Amino acid sequence: MWFRLTLVGLVLASGCATASSQSWPTKTIRAIVPLSAGSATDIVARTVLEQVSRQIGQPIIIENRTGAGNTIAMNLVAKADPDGYTILVNSAAHTMKQKAIYPNLPFDTARDLWPVIPLGNLPTVLVVRAAKGYKSIHDLVSDAKARPGAMNYSSTGAGNSSHLNAERFRLSAGFDAVHVPFKGAPEAVTEVLAGRADFLFTTMLVTMPFIQDKKLQALAVSGQRRASALPDIPTTEESGYKNSYYNFWIGMFVSANTPEGIRSRLYVETRKALENPEL
């Protein structure tokens, strides 16, 4: 009797989940971004999800939940109702490396978050204030080695891609520098522009306007190849700094228990948006 009741319960639950998946979405969706407005992750989220919103006929509201190395935002989505109405847009470092950086997290990335779809691979660039007069990445490294520990660099947050990108390069180049974390790219860029931070690794999406206005000087990109938007700027590895390559990607996630039908619909609609020529 117990087995029959359990079987009936499973069938009914399966039917409810299927119906829920077919009707999704019927209300506003929250997209949680762990970085401040104006950061690359935020810009990508807003750009892509605006198109997704038009396709599904429901609003998608961006919520910037910064702090605690992005774990506040990740925990919020991991513990959210698995109904497809709370999604996470996050980058490589925050998603894949947080357990190593924060061993006592209240959630497990692999267990509690489900990867829906990658949204993009973005080239990152090493920038300095143009007024410093550095002509190459070697000028920066030489200056840093001549003044051990006197140089600092800003990042978009402790433990995130900007931080780890800079550390990977710093270790390869063999110099000391003080890390100064901020809540997002706009704040980190402002510190370099003001001369309070010596250098920064962040996406070209954020820095290109300042590079074009000659307020920031690009010294290198950290991808495997040169960026098409900055064809004259070498990569860090091309400049002789081995193991300094860093891959910055952004992806979409939901709570792991979200029904497969909802995850599939979200994947299909997002992929459709990414393939839209206007986007």
Instruction: Using the CB atoms, write b or e for 19-52: b if 16+ within 10 Å.
Output: eebeebbeeebbbbbbbbebbbbbbbbbebbebb
Residue 10 has pLDDT above 70, yes or no: no
Cα 74 to Cα 31, 42, 91, 187: the distances in Å are: 11, 15, 11, 22
DSSP state letter for 58: S
User: Beta-carbon neighbour count of residue 148 at 10 Å?
Assistant: 10
Sorted by where each starts, the structural domains of the chain and their CATH numbers stand as: 28-122+249-274 (3.40.190.150), 124-247 (3.40.190.10)
The mean pLDDT of 38-42, rounded to a whole number, is: 89
The model's pLDDT over 220-267, given as tens digits with 9 standing for 90+, comes to: 999 889 999 999 999 999 999 999 988 888 999 999 999 999 999 999
The mean pLDDT of 46-58, rounded to a whole number, is: 97
Mean pLDDT of the chain: 89
The model's pLDDT over 75-90, given as tens digits with 9 standing for 90+, comes to: 999 999 999 999 999 9
Residue 103 has pLDDT above 90, yes or no: no
Backbone dihedral region for residue 271 (phi beyond 0: left; psi -120 to 50: alpha; all else: beta) = alpha
The model's pLDDT over 121-179, given as tens digits with 9 standing for 90+, comes to: 888 999 999 999 999 999 999 999 999 999 999 998 888 889 999 999 999 999 999 99
Whether pTM exceeds 0.95: no
pLDDT band for position 9 (cuts 50, 70, 90):
very low
- Give the closest residue to 85 by CA, choosing from 32, 45, 44: 32
3-state secondary structure of 150: coil
What pLDDT is recorded for position 7?
Answer: 41
pLDDT band for position 94 (cuts 50, 70, 90):
low
What pLDDT is recorded for position 92?
Answer: 66
